[in-house]
């Protein structure tokens, strides 16, 4: 899902950025490109925060379950 999202974002981003640049007048005022690029970057990272959180939570749960399974698989030898 992560790589799919990256691919879609790379496909759609130039179109959206071009429309924003046109609406904010970046073609006639190139100084607008800096704030547009900064906003686009911050927005992209900001939108990814929930997904990073969910991925980390899933990974933590997976590792806890893996440790529990490993402990349950250990059998003490009968003396």
pLDDT in tens, 31-45: 999 999 999 889 888
Instruction: Tell me what the mean pLDDT of segment 2-7 comes to.
Output: 84
Q: Is 79 among the domain residues?
A: no
Residue 42 lies in a domain: yes
Q: Is residue 19 part of a domain?
A: yes
Residue 54 inside a domain? The answer is yes
- Residue 27 belongs to a domain: yes
pLDDT band with cut points at 50, 70 and 90 for residue 6: confident
- Domain carrying residue 6: 2-72
Q: What is the pLDDT, as a whole number, of residue 2?
A: 76
DSSP string computed for 17-73: HHHHHHHTTTTT-GGGHHHHHHHHHHHHHHHHHHHHHHHHHHHHHHHHHHHHHHHHH
């Amino acid at each position: 899902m992560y790589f799919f999202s990256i691919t879609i974002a790379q496909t759609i981003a130039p179109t959206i950025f071009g429309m924003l640049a046109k609406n904010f007048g970046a073609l006639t005022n190139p100084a607008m490109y800096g704030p547009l690029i900064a906003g686009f970057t911050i927005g992209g990272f900001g939108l990814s925060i929930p997904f990073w959180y969910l991925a980390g939570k899933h990974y933590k749960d997976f590792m806890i379950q893996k440790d529990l399974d490993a402990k349950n698989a250990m059998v003490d030898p009968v003396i």
